[in-house]
Amino acid sequence: MWFETSRKAPISKVNLSSIEFLIQEAFTGIRRNGLMAYASISTIALSLGVLGGFVLVALGANNFAASQISKFEIAVYMDVRATKAQTEAVAETIRKMPYVAGVELRSREQEWARFKKENPNIEAAGLQSNPIPHSLDVKVTDAAKTTYIANKVRAMEGVHKVSDGREVLSRVMAVARVVRGISVAGVVVLLITAVFIISNAIKLTLYARRREIRIMKLVGATNWFIRVPLIIEGVVFGATGAFAAWVLLRLGGSYVAHTAQRLPMMARFSSDVTPGALALWLMLLGIAIGAAGSFVSIRRFLHD
């Protein structure tokens, strides 16, 4: 029993010292090849910066399109002879329908008072009685169900006219689908491009060290002993490049936000991505690409 215990301790000690040695070797390699390390980090930063910027713009465009769609409402105009109680009954029935977010009643008396205030000469022109009917503004939870709800409301007793703006809504929804499709396609293309560029940058870094790798193989180093420090280097490159990309995006985002304050429409253009979430996703993506790029690229030199 004592013999087994005495054997386990040195093994764990060797493992820990080996890990520490491999990490030291990784940072030594980075310092020794400073110019290539700088080139790799710069390439990763620019690639992730372009990708991250496009993703933020795409999210902002999709959110803006969704906000415009959510503003559409169904306008329900009751018959002029319909009383307020009848209108409230219709409003209660609509509230119980699926996909209805809310119903707001507009009293004919309030609308007539507001109309006369905006047009003070209307009574002098001969219009004495109130021609405005009670009306309802219906908000829906799903814009695609607007026509379905409008058709249901049209069939209700006491309803004179229903305006759902289906033509304008269909155009806006078509534009939103195009924006969504372009966003997804653009993100996929830029992601593939970023992976390709970053992998080639790491491959060039390893190519510059091919003689060092060959010497390590000649003195008996195992493939994993050679591979681990280089993978750690890839992780460091990816994390550093991701941080640099995050700084660039934050600076660019601050400038764009300051400029957008002058344009009322652009003030509602937001990706809704917090700086912390952006940093996390960039860091994970940079580390993953850096580690995978090093792992795949080193195989070529180990098999030579």
Residue 121's domain is classified under what CATH number?
Answer: 3.30.70.3040
Longest dimension (CA), the chain: 112
Contact 290, 236 (CB under 8 A): yes
Q: Do both 232 and 291 map to the same domain?
A: yes
Cβ–Cβ contacts within 10 Å for residue 28, how many? 12
Q: Do both 181 and 57 map to the same domain?
A: yes
Q: What b/e readout covers 45-84, taking b as 16+ CB neighbours within 10 angstroms?
A: bbbbbbbbbbbbebbbbbebbeebbeebbbebbbeeebee
Say what the pLDDT of residue 10 is: 39
Considering 130, 164, 198, which residue would you say is the last residue of a domain?
A: 164
Q: Do both 232 and 285 map to the same domain?
A: yes
Q: Do both 53 and 118 map to the same domain?
A: no
Which amino acid makes up residue 78? M
Q: What b/e readout covers 150-180, taking b as 16+ CB neighbours within 10 angstroms?
A: bebbeeeebbeebebeeeebeebbeebeebe
Say what the pLDDT of residue 304 is: 54
Considering 140, 164, 188, which residue would you say is the last residue of a domain?
A: 164
Say what the pLDDT of residue 12 is: 38
Which amino acid makes up residue 46? L
Question: Total structural domains in the chain?
Answer: 2
Range(s) of the domain holding residue 176: 25-68+172-303
Q: Do both 54 and 103 map to the same domain?
A: no
Q: Do both 294 and 264 map to the same domain?
A: yes
Contact 62, 183 (CB under 8 A): yes
Q: Do both 158 and 222 map to the same domain?
A: no
Question: For the chain (length 304 residues), average pLDDT per consecutive 10?
Answer: 39 50 65 73 87 86 78 84 85 88 83 72 59 84 83 86 79 82 87 83 74 74 74 85 90 73 62 85 89 78 62
Residue 204 lies in a domain: yes
Q: Do both 190 and 280 map to the same domain?
A: yes
Residue 9 lies in a domain: no
Q: Which pTM was predicted?
A: 0.65
Say what the pLDDT of residue 8 is: 40
Say what the pLDDT of residue 123 is: 58
Helices (H), 166-222: 166-207, 210-218
**Among 184, 175, 177, 179, which Cα is nearest to 55's?**
184
